[in-house]
Structure 1
Amino acid sequence: MSSAEYFSSIYDRACQRKGGATALAALLSSPASATDISAIPDNLLLAELTKKVFQSGFVWRVVRLKWPGFCQVFFDFDIEKMLLMSDEMLEQKAQDTRIIRNAKKVFTIRDNAQMIADIQRKHGSFAHFIANWPTDDIIGLWAYLKQHGARLGGNTGPYALRAIGKDTFILSSDVEAYLRATKIFDGGISSKRSLAQIQQQFNLWQQQSGLSLQHISQIIALSVGDNHVGMQQ
């Protein structure tokens, strides 16, 4: 049986640990509006998906340093140009020293461009599709990206959505530890049942607090672990 706290208790503990409400608020980042997300060009969304695919299991700082090279090599992630690339062209691109040379991840760029093109035909733009997905079923969007995209499972898809500005929680190690300790879910973290239980609890906390999923997720992470005020995070 779940032993979840009211969100006010989680919030109060985070405030105590971080030095007060003002200090806590300064540590939080906010999601973008649906209007702002809808206005993002789809090539920039493909770029963000690609960045998160390459950062997965790798040093994020190195990817950031190499990023101007990625934009040059892949024509600023123009969707149509990516779809026209043959296997031979992608293999050649994967050897370019301006990028991180990982052929399997390079091929995901075309795969994810195809996913975006498919969505464009149905919804007008990938950005509009992302912006209008209901946040009370954000795990459904995670599942869509995992099923229809390439290498967007685990936390890669959620981190990409967070970078785009979509309101989502993140199952970081601290958040997962808290959810396990309070028995919010009782199976594997990535199972459909566990994710449904987690979504249900986040929806409840959102009703209690009126906060975004992003703020709730961040506050939970700041309310547990070794991140007391004055300690390096």
Structure 2
Amino acid sequence: MSGDVDAVIVGWALSALLFFLSLWKYEPEISHRRRHAASAGALVLAVAAIYGADIVNLPEIAGTLAIGASLGLVLARGVRPQMLPTLLTVFCGAIGLSMLCAALAAYLNPNAFGLMPVRGDGVTCWALSLICAAAATGALAWAVAVVAIFAHRGGPSDQARRTMLLALAGGLAGCSVTALAFLLEHAGLVVAGGLAGTAGLLLSVRLHRGSGRKGLPRRGGVPNP
């Protein structure tokens, strides 16, 4: 194994550890440390992706990362805090839609992604299952994000519902990224997408159960406050 591959694997492992620490038990007094850990994990993952990329594609990858980081910084600093959940929902929907388009591109042009079998046409069964999983979860993430953005009436209960839908959209988007990462055999994206997908889906389930318990009636027939 070459030194380049070893360095990339170390970067992936470090980014996975930082993402895991950012998703650890919620404690408000150390929330800033969690944010810093997540930011550092994203930075390490980006550096590992650039370091392990082919020299031919390096300018495009570096340029895309720079544009995306600049756009995210401008939006985060210019948008009011009340609008951040909506902005995050839009991003989750955009990720799901992009994963759907990537899965369709892989299905329509499998030769460009190295998915052709040794003999015969089309794609392998394993690749086809991953393409279907990435497309389905990506489409669901986009649909849930659209519902979260446009189907709201205002009020505390509606805000809690939108938060649950945001977590669900993020979890589905992470699952879509994971499926596509397995298809492309990219270990770093598998770890990052798996953590994001698991965290988002578990958070949405917990929020859904929490909202359900609030409406449960007591033994005397009076609903819980």
Is the structural similarity TM-score above 0.5? no
Q: Give 1 or 2: higher helix fraction.
A: 2
TM-score normalised by length of structure 1:
0.28
TM-score (norm 2): 0.28
